[in-house]
Amino acid sequence: MAKDVETGGEYTTKDYTDPPPAPLIDVEEITKWSLYRAVIAEFVATMLFLYVTVATVIGYKHQSDPNVNPTDAACSGVGILGIAWAFGGMIFILVYCTAGISGGHINPAVTFGLFLARKVSLIRAVLYIIAQCLGAICGVGLVKAFQRAYYVRYGGGANELSSGYSHGTGLAAEIIGTFVLVYTVFSATDPKRNARDSHVPVLAPLPIGFAVFMVHLATIPITGTGINPARSFGAAVIYNKDKAWDDHWIFWVGPFIGAGIAALYHQFVLRASAAKAMGSSYRSNM
How does residue 285 score in pLDDT terms, banded at 50, 70 and 90? very low
Contacts of 114 (CB under 8 A, 6+ apart): 103, 105, 120, 125, 185, 263
Q: How confident is the model at residue 278 (pLDDT cuts 50, 70, 90)?
A: very low
d(CA 127, CA 30): 10
Q: Is the pLDDT of residue 9 over 60?
A: no
For 79-82, the CB contacts below 8 A with 24+ separation are 80/216, 80/217, 80/220, 80/221, 81/217, 82/56
3-class secondary structure for 86-148?
Answer: HHHHHHHHHHHHHCCCCCCCCCHHHHHHHHHCCCCCHHHHHHHHHHHHHHHHHHHHHHHHHCH
What pLDDT does residue 203 have? 78
State the distance between the two ends of the chain, measured CA to CA, in whole angstroms: 29
Question: How far, in Å, are 67, 114, 222, 245 from residue 186 at the CA level?
Answer: 45, 8, 26, 31
- The 3-state DSSP class for residue 78 equals coil
Contact 114, 181 (CB under 8 A): no
DSSP state of 155: G
The percentage of the chain sitting over the pLDDT mark of 70, rounded to a whole number, equals 81
Q: Is 196 helix (H, G, I), strand (E, B) or coil?
A: helix
Q: How confident is the model at residue 20 (pLDDT cuts 50, 70, 90)?
A: confident
Cα(171)–Cα(27) distance, rounded to whole angstroms? 36
Q: What pLDDT is stored for residue 243 in this prediction?
A: 83
Q: Which of 10-14, 193-197, 256-260 has the lowest mean pLDDT?
A: 10-14
| Beta partners for residue 7, in sequence order | 10
- CB of 90 closer than 8 Å to CB of 240: no
CB atoms within 10 A of CB 280: 11
Q: Do 117 and 266 form a contact (C-beta atoms < 8 A)? A: yes
Contact yes or no for 119/267 (Cβ under 8 A): no
Residue 193 CB neighbours (<10 A): 15
User: Considering the chain, what is the average pLDDT of its residues?
Assistant: 86
pLDDT, tens digit, for every residue of 76-98? 668 899 999 999 999 999 999 99
Which tens digits make up the pLDDT trace of 190-209? 877 655 554 444 578 999 99
pTM of the model: 0.86
116 versus 198: the higher-pLDDT residue is 116
Residue 272 makes CB contacts below 8 A (sequence gap 6+) with none
Which band of pLDDT confidence, cut at 50, 70 and 90, is reported for residue 8? very low
Express each pLDDT in 63-77 by its tens digit. Answer: 877 676 666 556 666
